Amino acid sequence: MEHFTKDLPQVPRKRSNVIWIMADQLRGQACGYRGDPNVSTPNIDNLTRNGMRFDQAVSGAPWCCPFRGALLTSRYPHQNGVYSVPAALDPALPTITAPLKAAGYHTAWVGKWHLDGSNSPLHIVPPERRGGFDYWMGYENNNNQEETFVYGTDSEVPLRLAAYETDGLTDLLISHLRTHLATSADDNGDYQPFMAALSVQPPHRPYVPPTDTTGNRRYYHNPADIVLRQNVPNVPWVKEKAVLDAAGYYGMVENIDMNIGRIRMALKELGVDRETYILFFSDHGDCLGAHGQWAKSSPWEESIKIPFIVAKVGSEVHMNAGASDAVVNHVDIAPTTLGLCDVPIPGWMKGHNYASVCVEQNGPAAAEPDSAYLQQIPRKFFHHTVNKAWRGVLMRDGWKYVCMPGHDWLLFNTKDDPLEMANLCYDIAFQAEKERCHRRLAQWIADTGDDFALPDITLDHPLQESSL
């Protein structure tokens, strides 16, 4: 990675640290602050009180590997080569670690990687394929939260976590931060600033919350008490599966919430809470029966909408608190992170820097995007998900438009219809909105160098006045 860092401008060392906390398959609606009646997330909710929440944040490629590649490189999946699962990130591509290390930061990754071209828990990611992180303890992929093996900087021999995955990985993160602060401190108590990422597999399926020492489930939810979203069809097998899966899912979310509280307490005990930003997000959502579908890879709100919160308890720079309707996408997280740390953003990053929304900064901010580009690049064959490729756009005003190859498919006003119950794509009354979104989608395809074939949506006869 040296040849990527030597030409980057050097900046004074800052004491603004960043921690990414990334869940896997946590939909944006499944948090207490979003009004989900099934879950209690006091620590996540407190993050929103200490910072900015972005309720229109999306996973522009709602699938594990494509999101992660875009997250680290700030390049769209078709630009960085990671557009399917599994897929490997080219180690020749620079990641966010390059500008951070050039600015004097220590970088650390703990947990799920899933960027080395394998779905196997036995796959070992070699050191040169770990994104340039100074410290890396993780694994490629694993769908067994109670039997997680990690390896890396501390031991290249895989070690089994002594605890449920989220708990055990949080232990690793806190331990490493403690060690880093102790070993990098100088005689004046100053230390090397850090950017650390915690990547956990829950609440990805299997929907199994942790157990206690007696074998009972912690964070227990009775399936009979689950309140399903109103867009879950009233079909017996769908509802039965949805409530059973959701009961485990929400328990896993509450376990994540508890560990966020542990991280915040550890930062306070270490004396760095006031100088550390926490960015909390997910790689994509989970339909959990909405529209009769499960998991990710579809353009429904439950699949693409993710939590995205930027929080800090205090600093010399005023932290804004509230909610933004900005359409933050996967490629925007890295440049926003650099912006928060006052680290120059390299030209190869394609995303937008939203730091000025989160904190008071000097100088004019760049105009924010009017929309987010959405992609499912290869056709995916998986039970209860869309088995077609598609492209879409979410406009900042809430309109969402999606096409499959050669034909239009979906048009929703998600602000008026967040459950997406009324597909307006073939309603001639909304042709103007459809054409506006179609033009913007075409522009995204052209600007990013994508090769998707859009349909011709030109009307073959004039619009007629409504008889209603």
Q: Please tell me whether the peptide bond between 203 and the residue prior to it is cis, using omega within 30 degrees of 0.
A: yes
Residue 338 tokens, joined: 């650099």
Burial 63-72 (b: 16+ CB within 10 A, else e): bbbbbbbbbb
Boundaries of every domain in the chain: 2-365, 388-448
- Please give the single-letter amino acid code of residue 218: R
Q: Please tell me whether the peptide bond between 206 and the residue prior to it is cis, using omega within 30 degrees of 0.
A: yes
403 vs 60: CA distance, rounded Å: 14
φ/ψ (deg, to 5) at 294: -130, 160
Alpha-carbon torsion angle 127, 129, 134, 140, nearest 10: -90
Residue 7 tokens, joined: 């030409």
Q: Please tell me whether the peptide bond between 455 and the residue prior to it is cis, using omega within 30 degrees of 0.
A: no
> Is residue 368 classed as helix, strand or coil in its secondary structure?
coil
Residue 226 tokens, joined: 């689950």
pTM of the complete model: 0.95
Average pLDDT per 10 consecutive residues for the chain, totaling 468 residues: 45 73 98 97 97 98 98 98 97 98 98 98 97 98 96 98 97 98 92 98 96 74 97 98 98 97 97 96 98 97 98 81 97 98 97 95 84 94 88 98 97 98 98 98 98 93 58
With contact defined as beta carbons under 8 Å apart, do 305 and 58 qualify?
Answer: yes
With contact defined as beta carbons under 8 Å apart, do 54 and 142 qualify?
Answer: no
332 vs 57: CA distance, rounded Å: 10
241 vs 310: CA distance, rounded Å: 34
> Is residue 279 classed as helix, strand or coil in its secondary structure?
strand
With contact defined as beta carbons under 8 Å apart, do 90 and 75 qualify?
Answer: no
User: Quick one: pLDDT at residue 316?
Assistant: 65
- Please give the single-letter amino acid code of residue 169: L
DSSP annotation of 33:
G
47 vs 309: CA distance, rounded Å: 7
With contact defined as beta carbons under 8 Å apart, do 309 and 51 qualify?
Answer: yes
Residue 381 tokens, joined: 């064959």
Token pair 């959405």: residue: 374
End-to-end Cα, the chain, rounded Å: 64
Q: Do domains 2-365 and 388-448 have the same CATH topology?
A: no
Fold entry, domain 388-448: Arylsulfatase, C-terminal domain (3.30.1120)
How many H helices and E strands in the chain? 11, 14
User: Quick one: pLDDT at residue 3?
Assistant: 42
pLDDT in tens, 260-275: 999 999 999 999 999 9
User: Quick one: pLDDT at residue 362?
Assistant: 67
| CATH number attached to the domain at 2-365 | 3.40.720.10
